[in-house]
Structure 1
Amino acid sequence: MKRAGGRLTGTTAAITLAATLATALTTPFTGASTAGAPAPHLRDYLVFYADGAHAQALKAITGNGGTVLSTDPRLGYITAKAPTGPGARFVEDLAADAAIAGVSSDRRIGHATALPAAPARTGAFPDAKALLGQAGPEPLAGRQWDMKMIGATADGSHATAAGAPTVLVGVIDTGVDGKHPDIAPNFDATRSRNFVTDRPEDPNGAELDGPCEFPGCKDPADWDDDGHGTHVASTIASPANGLGIAGVAPRATIVNLRAGQDSGLFFLKPSLDALTYAADNGIDVVNMSYYVDPWLFNCKANPADSKAEQLEQRGVITGMQRALDYARAHGVTLISAIGNGSTDLGKPRTDTTSPDYPLETERPRTIDNSCLNVPAESKGVISVSATGPSKRKSYFSDYGIEQTDLAAPGGDEYDGPGDADITRTILAAAPEHVLRKEGLLTSTGDPKSPAVVRDCRNGRCAYYQYLAGTSMAAPHATGVAAILIGRFGEPSADGVTMPPAEVERLLYATATRKACPSPRAYAYRLGEDTDTHTCEGKKSRNGFYGRGIVNAAKAATIPR
């Protein structure tokens, strides 16, 4: 069983990968209020009930002033509406009832952004045309040190087992640009879903997602206004089509299961919906490069937290574990990024960034190894740390002997001689409209930053971006899982199916073992700063690399 907390909040080159439980869905409360005090509001809650306690939970909700809206018997929770604000004690009163396993308010609770890595050295970023003919049919393959490391190349796994269209890979993220020229051939628009609605502002009037781009603030299922999900999907399964790059499994099918807002926020309810949809619709493997908060570390009974806060954290742990269990029981292999906090997750001591919603409510609190990062430390999830080009653990990557299952390329701009170099991070597809919004393109479409590459072939142009993080590592493992499922999966009504335990076994069996560094206390030099991480364990399994670095070439050839 995995333990300890984790986070996907990085430093300089690492992307911040945060998440949320749900959006603030508040409406005016029409009842009486205390004289001189503001009237309370109604808020939606997800109330998770104990096994066999549905009826008792309903009584507890209505008895404490709540209104039942719906029940999801698959995951064992009730959606309810109840007063919130000054004097409201709905959550506190529920906490005393044995029928209640956790309560998560349906509100925004975090943020996530994708940032380009540090600037490249002068001359370190040649034009795409300079790489033509260097590395096979994909023009930008020469930049993909990550694919070379794991053997996912034209003369490697692509030649023997490149995945299969019957393998359905769910990307639970900020969305996928299904019209991107280097994603569209493998994108399944029919199966893809968007489980969120854009919210221009948060409850306090601060900009959240910004102006809505589509009627009803509901983006189509082939849209990504953040770029993070598109980058992840591209690493997994960009096709070998003579344009740009190819992913780890270039023949697998990408299904967008959007659970993140335009702003990069993630909510609990969309995450639950994405996992249950994956389970009920034949998805074979999902990639989860995010975490659920407002609590960076979710602690069930931390004395530093109020009873209501403890119940909220139990709701995160309980709700996601039920959804993950449901998905795994229906044949979905679960893969997650481990986090970018440069932290030994087996020895957490303090959490200074929680709760991160409402805004500016963070406070330092003491934590211990009973606290969990979700979903990276949830049961049944394969958690992936990141490496740089030399195969050292990336400086930003979380680690831990109990937490790390596998490692994969995630980038590290400091992993090499001289100054930081952006080409040591991961190149994958980026939506053009996102790059324009971020000011990374000129009016004529030329890249303004070394973080961006444009490749044009036969009248088609596509954009790519360098990013770093364990968020970039996890999709490499997901792509290798797709290769294994394509080879060994059994025919099913939705394509193929393969028991997640068997996928996990083969992922571990094909990984390249890597021992801890010597000395085990490895000192990272980050410009003028130094940070030391200590690796525990043996070559067969350790806190930096888990069972080893994923190996697509071996996965493509290993006998079952």
Structure 2
Amino acid sequence: MRNSHSRRAFAVVTAATLALTALGGGVAASAADEPESTPVPIVTPDGALFSYVVNTERASVGQTLLATTAIKRADGVVVQSWPQIGVVVVHSANGSFREDVLAADRVGVIESVGATRTVSPTEGTPGAQSAAGVQANRSVTSQAQKETPGDAVDEPSDDAGVTVVPDPGEATQWDMSLIKADQAITINPGSSDVVVGVLDSGIDASHPDLATQVDADLSVNCTDGGKPDTSATGWLPTTSDHGTHVAGTIAAADNGLGIVGVAPGVTMASVKVVNDDGFIYPEYAICGFVWAGLERMDVTNNSYYIDPFMYWCEDQPDQAAAKEAVRRAVDFSTKRGVVHAAAAGNAATDLANNTTDAASPNDSAAVQRVINSGCEDIPTELDGVVTVSSITSTTALSSFSNRGLGKIDVAAPGSAIVSTELNGTWDTKSGTSMASPHVAGVLALLKSAHPRWSPAKLEAAVRTQADDHACSTTTAGPVCVGELAENSFYGDGITDALDAVTVRR
């Protein structure tokens, strides 16, 4: 996404800034003409376990090991180490861990440290785990399967005399007609070599529309404290059908059953980042993005915002450190060839002119707080992420959808979307969560048609190929601002699947 206001700088956590925050004060405002965001101190009493991220100055094994030494001196336990991005996930019951780990850093490798949630973790057995080791031990079979044509979708052969029967649910899929996906898949349904990582609550791979679509060897569960768990059942859904619904929109099989996804020929990986209580904490998302990069997936879909803050503020030490860790994970995966789509959010808010937040933190007591331009909804407002607003069947902006000039990249259907559900069923859901997977599917079609294109080129193409849509002329509801080519409701326009497989430049 073209976030001109987005910064790569972040607050360095020191004992002084931590003490100031604990007393209710702030740190420097993100811009001279803006107020400081309202401090939300995360209280970490002695004896209560809390989760932290520790960011090193540079991404290296050496600096990570030096940081680990300081972490142990400060009574912290490494849950997961990501030397590829210079991030260590830590659990500690030391109430002064943040100050103590900085004091224990005798060589100055730690850049920032922050708590990732306002309550104690209930998961994540402490124990050191190196991401380098995970990468070295990953399945060779998974890569071979990824490169085998046709193993992700069961396509009938004309030579065998099989008649392709339209999926019965296609008639209800107004969304696929609106973005011309029904036309696109007759030309190119997507390549099984293209992998979409669905960062969500897990995918029901037993569903008849998804059974041929998910690569178990590429799937992972990241909700065990942010550690990658590749067990056979870890990445399956437990308490939520959200990820299964999202997956169906991306790539439900064209098999004569149920519905058809935007890109039914591509492969999906279930990357579980939503825990059983419905939270997506920073360490889960970090694991998901790094895993997507390590496995060299092609696309990720992110239909969520990272808890417990709807907006993560750069002038608050804990939030700044966690936000920086997530940004590093997104950048790492992008550099390894992954392009990202993300939901704009369902708060009916203008992200370009947002000054308050009453929904954070959502894992304890929310407070009414002032926010500034350094406070962002992540991952959707991070650089390199395609931000998607939601529209209805009449192409109006959905009543719940966030908007914002310079914030929205493209729009896609998100109201009353029919897709796959648990237990082999189908149902409708609404939300920008439903809009984003349409764009993830279009990005997968683009990658299928142009396998050598970089994430930046794919991101640019999905915007350029979007169908321009003028601002709404209605006087009811929020005001749309901007021009035909780019405005606050539709960004660069409504995503176009047909152009993805036919436009050659």
TM-score with structure 2 setting the length: 0.76
In structure 1, how many angstroms separate the alpha carbons of the residues matched to 2:422 and 2:440? Answer: 21
In structure 2, how many angstroms separate the alpha carbons of the residues matched to 1:241 and 1:71? Answer: 42
Query: Among 353, 364, 369, which residue is 1:365 paired with?
Result: 369
Partner of 1:104: 115
In structure 1, how many angstroms separate the alpha carbons of the residues matched to 2:120 and 2:176? Answer: 35
Structure 1 residue 402 displacement after superposition: 2.0
Q: Deviations over 1:410-464 (max 9, x none)?
A: 01xxxxxxxxxxxxx10000002xxxxxxxxxxxxxxxxxxxxxxxxxxxxx410
Q: Secondary structure at the match of 1:254?
A: strand
**Closer/same/farther in 2, CA of residues 373 and 391 from structure 1, 3 Å limit:** same
In structure 2, how many angstroms separate the alpha carbons of the residues matched to 1:311 and 1:108? Answer: 17
Structure 1 residue 518 displacement after superposition: 2.4
Partner of 1:150: 179
In structure 1, how many angstroms separate the alpha carbons of the residues matched to 2:351 and 2:482? Answer: 14
Structure 1 residue 541 displacement after superposition: 1.1
Structure 2: gaps of 5 or more residues = 7-44, 122-163, 226-230
In structure 2, how many angstroms separate the alpha carbons of the residues matched to 1:409 and 1:69? Answer: 39
Residue type of the alignment partner of 1:171: V
The number of residues matched between the two structures is 414
Q: Deviations over 1:62-116 (max 9, x none)?
A: 56554556632112122334334xxx22235668998432423477699xxxxxx
Task: Please list, as runs of the form range in 1=range in 2, the aligned pairs for 1:219-368 lying within 5 A after superposition.
Answer: 219-301=233-315, 310-357=316-363, 359=364, 361-368=365-372
Q: For the Cα contact (< 8 Å) 1:151–1:552, is it kept in 2?
A: yes
Q: For the Cα contact (< 8 Å) 2:303–2:342, is it kept in 1?
A: yes
Structure 1: gaps of 5 or more residues = 6-37, 111-134, 199-216, 302-309, 412-424, 433-461, 491-497, 524-531
Structure 1 residue 509 displacement after superposition: 2.1
Q: For the Cα contact (< 8 Å) 2:117–2:308, is it kept in 1?
A: no
What fraction of aligned residue pairs are identical, expressed as a percent?
33
Task: Please list, as runs of the form range in 1=range in 2, the aligned pairs for 1:71-220 lying within 5 A after superposition.
Answer: 71-84=81-94, 88-91=95-98, 99-105=110-116, 137-153=166-182, 156-197=183-224, 219-220=233-234
Q: For the Cα contact (< 8 Å) 2:286–2:325, is it kept in 1?
A: yes
Structure 1 residue 405 displacement after superposition: 0.5
Q: For the Cα contact (< 8 Å) 1:109–1:267, is it kept in 2?
A: no
In structure 2, how many angstroms separate the alpha carbons of the residues matched to 1:393 and 1:158? Answer: 26
Partner of 2:449: 487
In structure 2, how many angstroms separate the alpha carbons of the residues matched to 1:355 and 1:69? Answer: 23
Structure 1 residue 502 displacement after superposition: 1.4
**Closer/same/farther in 2, CA of residues 42 and 181 from structure 1, 3 Å limit:** same
Q: Which deviates more, 40-49 or 268-277?
A: 40-49
Q: Deviations over 1:494-548 (max 9, x none)?
A: xxxx3101111221122101111226xx41xxxxxxxx31222111111110111
Calculate the aligned-residue CA RMSD, in Å. 2.9
Residue type of the alignment partner of 2:358: T
Query: Among 42, 49, 59, which residue is 2:56 paired with?
Result: 49
Residue type of the alignment partner of 2:259: I
Partner of 1:466: 428
In structure 2, how many angstroms separate the alpha carbons of the residues matched to 1:338 and 1:247? Answer: 21
Structure 1 residue 471 displacement after superposition: 0.3
**Closer/same/farther in 2, CA of residues 59 and 262 from structure 1, 3 Å limit:** closer
Residue type of the alignment partner of 2:240: D
In structure 2, how many angstroms separate the alpha carbons of the residues matched to 1:4 and 1:92? Answer: 31
Q: Secondary structure at the match of 1:352?
A: strand
Query: Among 379, 382, 401, which residue is 2:386 paired with?
Result: 382
Q: Secondary structure at the match of 1:235?
A: helix
Q: For the Cα contact (< 8 Å) 1:177–1:224, is it kept in 2?
A: no
Q: For the Cα contact (< 8 Å) 2:299–2:443, is it kept in 1?
A: yes
The structure that is helix-richer by fraction is: 2
Query: Among 472, 475, 482, which residue is 1:537 paired with?
Result: 482
Q: Secondary structure at the match of 1:346?
A: helix
In structure 2, how many angstroms separate the alpha carbons of the residues matched to 1:330 and 1:51? Answer: 18
In structure 2, how many angstroms separate the alpha carbons of the residues matched to 1:136 and 1:263? Answer: 40
Partner of 2:27: none
**Closer/same/farther in 2, CA of residues 69 and 295 from structure 1, 3 Å limit:** closer
Q: For the Cα contact (< 8 Å) 2:408–2:489, is it kept in 1?
A: yes
Q: Secondary structure at the match of 2:404?
A: coil
In structure 2, how many angstroms separate the alpha carbons of the residues matched to 1:355 and 1:109? Answer: 14
**Closer/same/farther in 2, CA of residues 252 and 56 from structure 1, 3 Å limit:** closer
Residue type of the alignment partner of 1:226: S
In structure 1, how many angstroms separate the alpha carbons of the residues matched to 2:275 and 2:71? Answer: 29
Q: For the Cα contact (< 8 Å) 2:175–2:417, is it kept in 1?
A: yes
Q: Secondary structure at the match of 1:195?
A: strand
Structure 1 residue 267 displacement after superposition: 2.4
